[in-house]
Copies of this chain bind each other. A is one copy, B any other.
Amino acid sequence: MPENSTPGGNRRAPQGRRAVISREDLIAAALSLLGPHRSVSTLSLREVAREAGIAPNSFYRHFRDTDELAVVLIEEAGSALRRIIGQSRTRATTERSVVRSSIETFMEQLNPDEKFLPILLREGTVGSDAFKQAVEEQLLYFEEELCSDLVRLADINNTGIVHAPLVAKAITRLVFAMGATAMDLPESEHPRILEEMVVMVRMIIVGTQTMAREGAKLN
């Protein structure tokens, strides 16, 4: 078993004919096929191979099937997005600024030539189980990072917080859901959506802070 991996890996001496293409090239080919009207789940093996300039059968040297490619795409999209949004978040110190700048950065990723966010927005509800599970995993990462940030800011500013993980989950799911609708709207509508998202997220934060202040019973 050749153990699907880039030939330039840890194996010192590559035997046989050199691989003319790498996993990364296939991923790039798949990415270039995506667009506002094309989702990962509709990519065919032959299509990706064609785009990459290889024979259909060569695809199998790198991925077992298109689902495996899709999962890798989702994982890459998730980590790239977390890096981008994480950067914009660490620059902020108050909730107001962190909310707005994070959401602004998020919405910037809906730019037509950014392919990563649409992948996460679209592929969460269709495709194979491995597919949806991969998206769910990335969302959970987002939630974790957001949660620790929320707790950090609550400490700094002495504002209370209850159910921090739930707050993070609510904000994450809400922002992604709103982003999914924005994705199919003309770009001129994006600023309006952004303002809506900011108000929504602030409502959640005011809610948890109020509940913390009042020691609200939860049932």
Q: Are A180's CB and B125's CB within 8 A?
A: yes
Of chain B, the residue at the smallest CB distance from A174 is: B174
Of chain B, the residue at the smallest CB distance from A213 is: B210
Indicate if A101 sits at the interface (CB-CB under 8 A): no
Indicate if A187 sits at the interface (CB-CB under 8 A): no
State the number of copies, please. 2
Q: Are A211's CB and B206's CB within 8 A?
A: yes
Q: A122-B126, A126-B122, A173-B178 are in contact. Are A203 and B208 (CB under 8 A)?
A: yes
Residues of B within 8 A of A37 (CB): 129
Docked Cα-Cα span, A181 to B177, in Å, equals: 12
Residues of B within 8 A of A210 (CB): 206-207, 210
Q: Which of A112-151 contact B (CB under 8 A)?
A: 121-126, 129, 132-133, 136
Select one of B166, B199, B205, B206 contacting A199, CB under 8 A: B166
Residues of B within 8 A of A166 (CB): 196, 199-200, 203
Count contacts on A: residues with CB < 8 A to the other chain: 40
Docked Cα-Cα span, A113 to B6, in Å, equals: 45
Select one of B125, B173, B196, B204 contacting A207, CB under 8 A: B204
Indicate if A169 sits at the interface (CB-CB under 8 A): yes
Least CB distance from A168 to B in Å reads 11
Q: Are B170's CB and A203's CB within 8 A?
A: yes
Least CB distance from A90 to B in Å reads 24
Q: Are B121's CB and A125's CB within 8 A?
A: yes
Residues of B within 8 A of A178 (CB): 173
| Per-position 1/0 for A171-201, Cβ under 8 A of B | 0011011101100100000000000100110
Least CB distance from A86 to B in Å reads 22
Docked Cα-Cα span, A199 to B216, in Å, equals: 11
Residues of A within 8 A of B (CB): 37, 39, 41, 121-126, 129, 132-133, 136, 163, 166-167, 169-170, 173-174, 176-178, 180-181, 184, 196, 199-200, 202-208, 210-211, 216, 218
What are 7 of the A-B contact pairs (CB < 8 Å)? A129-B184, A166-B196, A170-B174, A174-B174, A203-B208, A206-B206, A206-B210
